[in-house]
Amino acid sequence: MRTTRFVVAIALGCALAQGADWPTDGGNPQRTAWQKDEKILNKDNVKNLKIVWKLQLDNKPIEMHSLFPPLIADKVNTANGPKQIAIVAGVSDNIYAIDVATAQILWKKHFEYPPPARRGRPTDPLCPAGLTATPVIGPPNANGTRPVYAMAGDGEVHTLNLADGEDLAAPYQFGYPFGKSYALNFWNDVLFTTTAQGCAGNPNQIWAINVKDPAHKVMTFHPKSGGLWGRTGAAIDEDGVAWAPTGDGRYDPATQTYGNGLVGAKVVGNELKLQDYFIPKNWAWLQSRDLDMQVTPAIFKFKGKELMVAASKECRIYLLDTKAAGGDDHQTALDRTGLICNEEVNFASAGIWGALASWEDAQGTRWVLSPFWGPVHPDYKFPVSHGPVTHGAVVAFKVEEKDGKFKLVPAWMSRDMDLAEPPVIANGVVYAYGSGEDTEQAYPDRGLDDNSPERIHDSTHAVLYALDAENGKELYSSGDQIKSFVHFGGLSIANGRVYLGTFDSILYCFGLEGK
Amino acid sequence: MRYTASMRTLLFLLATVALAQPPAGKPPLRDRAAAGDPDAQFTLGKNYEAGRSGLKKDYAEAASWYRKSAEQGNAYAQASLGILYHSGKGLPHDDLLSEMWFIIAAERVDPNDRQTIVDMRDSVAAHLKPEQIAEAQRLALEWKPKKNP
């Protein structure tokens, strides 16, 4: 193994008996990004957060991509006893299993395959030629073995034993070679992913495959849109409907064209069928200004209903009912916010990007969280804020119901962050980060020239923040401790540890000394 | 390194050329815009604003093409002109003229998009005195579409 490893500080007396997992991107199939079982980190002690260890992995970055959000599983029975394991995928077709207590690599898998016939344009940040879907950890089988489902860059799904990395099944084709699949989700034996940007000729659609189907039939639903590029793929509701934003495009129900909206598709028999959809009334404006709906929704229960929130680069949030998204006309949300940001109607470096989040506090208040890029809209006011916001921030809303009407009520806005990315929540603390990446796609002297080398050169470094989830007050900042930026990475949290992988293929583990 | 850079440039140029190719039987976008097609003028303006389809990012050019389209009655171009007047990109910052174009656009846009334009109109109005809003309304009332200005 050529991995160069350096451990800054090994956790002292690491507690292994916590039992919380983070088995999928966004924490759960509903993509709420809420760690319900955190018992170590809290509002009082998070100010003492520090880098417990950082690990240099031998993953080679491709375009701007490097490490995807770690998955965490506790109490995994290994040959050397139970361990808490972090599974980290790298874009150059690597899967690493790391012992969280010692920062040791327990096993590594590198996927090899013949070069696919097509690939994205070299230097194009949109279409890296490699593994792009965050894997997912499935539930244990009868003998307690837990599978890791990972899709290699050639589109094959590998089923690995979480404990030792051995193959549990022969690989099978699911995605499109170098087709840029988004984070895998898992529901009732079915893997889901989404695709966007038409990488290597890949169609933009929702994909599903039953891992127990001997024929491994690939099921798809194609919304005929610009791309389903919600950062954490599809979110799945209680009926197994996979919801994904459709990106730029037209809306024409007569021709089953569902651009600039949110579609929900479900496995029926051995086909993936459209169940419902939501298209904002101003979809034509969104298309005319390239403000596509492109954010993975968060799905949650509230007062006996299952609701979800969705958003777009236009910078407003929609509250929807999963049982009737958009109502009878598919275009009427339960509520929609005003414009939170993007006053200049910028298509590249402003608006809401990535994924949303939701949690419920001890009093039963349901919260919705959103990151955004760029300055806050001067007309949108939050009762609590923490200084001027010009580069991005995280905002929080309370979900309220009165006389059968559901509303998103603004609660707080965080401090300024350099391109705020999707937050995660645990034990009353919101963890967020500014990615530090350069997002410029067009230049006055050249026009559109979205190229990785220039964007990498102009990127800075990520900063992790911990915020009080009740009011957004900053409780911790990593300052300049993280040395590189993050593109398509993400936060994970379990058992007192917060993880973030950066472009230079370093995995950071933040925690408390002695915990 | 040089090879990579050359390949990148070549591929970028090829992609640019490919993007600039009109659908079969349709004149190029710039020709249609120059011939007075307001939809083409809006798209060309948007391409200049975003700096894409082989064009340099140029807010002044964007404003120029938006204006040609807006004067003919394209509501998206009218709203886009309102955005540029408010931000001061490609045009001198002028909230009165921004408000005027948003008022005009709100009257003409598809009903499904109206609220979006109204939100922007009202946002700009918050920066104006009542007499300036009245002046913007007067100018909007007097405005008449022109055929291919």
Q: Are B119 and A338 an interchain contact pair (Cβ–Cβ within 8 Å)?
A: yes
B22 falls in which pLDDT band (50, 70, 90)?
low
The helix or strand, by DSSP H or E, that contains position B136, with its residue range, turns out to be: helix B130-142
Percent of chain A clearing pLDDT 90 (strictly above): 85
In this predicted structure, what is the pLDDT of residue A451?
86
Mean pLDDT of A324-341: 95
Contacts with A441 from chain B: Cβ below 8 Å: 51
Query: Which whole number is the average pLDDT over A394-399?
Result: 98
* Confidence class for position B19, pLDDT limits 50, 70, 90: very low
- In the prediction, which pLDDT does B24 show? 60
CB within 8 Å of A68: residues ≥ 6 apart: A25, A88, A89, A90, A91, A132, A133, A134, A135, A183, A488, A489, A490, A501
In terms of pLDDT, which residue wins out, A347 or A474? A474
Q: Is the pLDDT of residue A258 over 50?
A: yes
| Any A CB within 8 A of B76 CB | yes
CB contact under 8 A, B76 and A285: yes
The answer to whether B141 contacts chain A (CB < 8 Å) is no
B10 contacts chain A (CB < 8 A) = no
* Average of per-residue pLDDT across A308-322: 97
Out of B57, B87, B119, closest to residue A442 by CB: B57
Question: What pLDDT sits at residue A125?
Answer: 86
Which letter does DSSP use for residue A96 in this model? E
Residue A439 tokens, joined: 């997002």
pLDDT at A6: 42
Q: Give the mean pLDDT of A343-354.
A: 89
Single pTM value for the model: 0.90
Quick one: average pLDDT of A406-424?
Answer: 97
Q: What is the mean pLDDT of chain A?
A: 93
The chain-wide mean pLDDT, for chain B, equals 85
What pLDDT sits at residue B148?
67
pLDDT of res. B147: 78
CA dihedral for B108, B112, B118, B123, sign (positive or negative): negative
Question: Would the pLDDT of A274 be above 80?
Answer: yes
Residue B14, chain A, CB below 8 Å: the answer is: no
Interface check for A447 against chain B (CB to CB < 8 A): the answer is yes
The residue that leads in pLDDT, A10 or A512, is A512
- Considering only residues A122 and B133, tell me which one the structure prediction assigns the higher pLDDT: B133
Q: What is the pLDDT of residues A457-478, one digit of tens each?
A: 989 999 999 999 999 999 999 9
With a cut of 70, say whether residue A252 has pLDDT above it. Answer: yes
Question: Chain B partners of A290 at a C-beta cutoff of 8 Å?
Answer: 46, 50
B42 contacts chain A (CB < 8 A): yes
Instruction: Round to whole Å and give the CA distance between A265 and A325.
Output: 12
> By the 8 A CB rule, do A10 and A332 touch?
no
Edge-to-edge strands, sheet with A429-434: A34-35, A424-426, A429-434, A463-468, A474-477
Residue of B nearest to A345 (CA): B83
User: Using one digit for the tens of pLDDT, what is the confidence trace for A135-187?
Assistant: 999 999 988 999 999 999 999 999 999 999 999 999 999 999 999 999 999 99
Give the integer Cα–Cα distance in Å for A85 and A69: 13
Question: Which of A 334-373 lie inside 8 A of B, CB atoms?
Answer: 338-339, 343-345, 347-348
Out of A122, A378, A447, whose CB is closest to B52?
Answer: A447
Partner A contacted by B54 (CB < 8 A) = yes
Task: Please state the ipTM of this predicted complex.
Answer: 0.74
Min Cα distance B57 → chain A (Å) is 4
Q: Which of B56, B83, B112 shows the shortest C-beta gap to A284?
A: B112
Cα A96 to Cα A57: distance, rounded to the nearest angstrom: 8
> What is the average pLDDT across A202-227?
95
* Rounded Cα–Cα distance for residues A162 and A148 (Å): 6
Mean pLDDT of the A243-249 span: 95
Put simply, whether A449 touches B (Cβ < 8 Å) is yes
Please give the torsion angle defined by the CA atoms of residues A446, A448, A451 and A453, in that order, rounded to the nearest 10 degrees.
30
Which of A166-175, A412-421, B43-52 has the lowest average pLDDT? B43-52
